[in-house]
Amino acid sequence: MSFIAIAPPSAGAGAPLPEVGCVENDGFYPDIVLQAMRDTMRLDGTVTSPRLIQAIVAAVLHVNAELRDWKLGQIAAGFASVAAVPADRVNRESILNAHYRRAVYCWAKADLIEHYRDYDSTASSMSDKKMMEALDNAPAEQRRNAHWAIADIIGRPHVTVELI
């Protein structure tokens, strides 16, 4: 039997900083709530709040840049926010909001995994070699998921084929 301790969220060394509730977005896309991302992406206190905010900001900047042309088209069509763009709804929310959050969460987690290579390591039945392979592949898998979420927003297929 093993015991795995999960560190509570913290602000890092020194005097604790108040937990910022969210990273404010540009007004068109939804704000990103830190605790929601922690819960969804299984991030514990190993990832400090300042580091999480930095990763989210970088992810928001990246995803917003990827969606710049799509956003401008929606604004030109008269939609003031992604939530106002006509789309199916799941769990009382526009699927476009859900895809956007997924893109940001996955991009930020890929960044975090690269900087905290062993933060996702736990006592498990996987061998060290398998664990290292999983950690090596994890950033690419998170970025793939982010690209797929972006593709879902703009209506682009997931598969990209190129000739060698």
Q: How far apart are the first and last CA of the chain?
A: 50
Which helix (H) or strand (E) element contains residue 22? strand 22-23
Residues listed for the chain: 164
pLDDT digit string (tens) for 26-36? Answer: 999 999 999 99
* Rounded average pLDDT over 60-76: 98
Q: Model pTM greater than 0.85?
A: no
Q: Which percentage of the chain shows pLDDT scores above 90?
A: 64
pLDDT digit string (tens) for 117-144? Answer: 654 445 454 455 554 554 567 899 999 9
Say yes or no to pLDDT of 84 above 50.
yes
Q: Return the pLDDT at 12.
A: 47
| Residue of 111, 131, 127 lying closest to 41 (CA atoms) | 111
Q: Is 55 helix (H, G, I), strand (E, B) or coil?
A: helix
Say yes or no to pLDDT of 114 above 80.
yes
Q: Is 150 helix (H, G, I), strand (E, B) or coil?
A: helix
Residue in the block written with tokens 């069509």? 77
